[in-house]
Amino acid sequence: MSEESLPPDARAEYADALPEYAERVLEVTELIPPGRVMTYGDVAEWLQEGGPRQVGRVMALYGGAVPWWRVVRSDGVLLPGHELRALDRYRSEGTPLRGASLAAEGHLPRIDMRRARWDGGEHTEAHT
């Protein structure tokens, strides 16, 4: 059974099996409010450890049990292979989106990074 197939409440049972860095990335992901996003690089900067690729790897392996759609590419392009699932989440949460140009593949919108990006707000003092 993969981490992605676990129900959200089951993640706690597997917390001891997660590498410490992965657990920290997932904790930051859970802090991101609905309708807001952080980039992979933002999460790494928040943690003051790793980089965008390391955060992306954690999200690919363990992110299914957290709001994975709130950790995004810096250009706002929707995660390949998960575009429609993520788009449904963004729309239901009111995440700011930019309309797709007719030249965009699949004519999918992008996240409006200027309006949707979250910097940690009041949680800044509590980050690890």
> Are 49 and 21 a contacting pair, CB within 8 Å?
yes
Q: Which residue has the tokens 């690890």?
A: 128
pLDDT of 124 reads: 47
pLDDT of 121 reads: 77
DSSP states along 11-66? GGGGGGGS-HHHHHHHHHHHHSPTT-BEEHHHHHHHHTSS-HHHHHHHHHHHGGGT
**Closest CA relative to residue 96, chosen from 116, 114, 79, 72:** 116
Work out the end-to-end distance of the chain between its first and last CA atoms, rounded to an integer number of angstroms. 30
> Are 71 and 81 a contacting pair, CB within 8 Å?
no
The pair of three-digit structure tokens given for residue 4, joined into one six-digit string = 């992605």
pLDDT of 127 reads: 43
Mean pLDDT, the chain cut into blocks of 10 residues (128 residues total): 51 65 97 98 96 96 96 93 94 92 70 94 52
pLDDT of 91 reads: 96
Cα–Cα distance, 44 to 49 (Å, whole number): 6
Cα–Cα distance, 28 to 123 (Å, whole number): 10
Taking phi over 0 as left and psi of -120 to 50 as alpha, with beta for the rest, 106 belongs to left
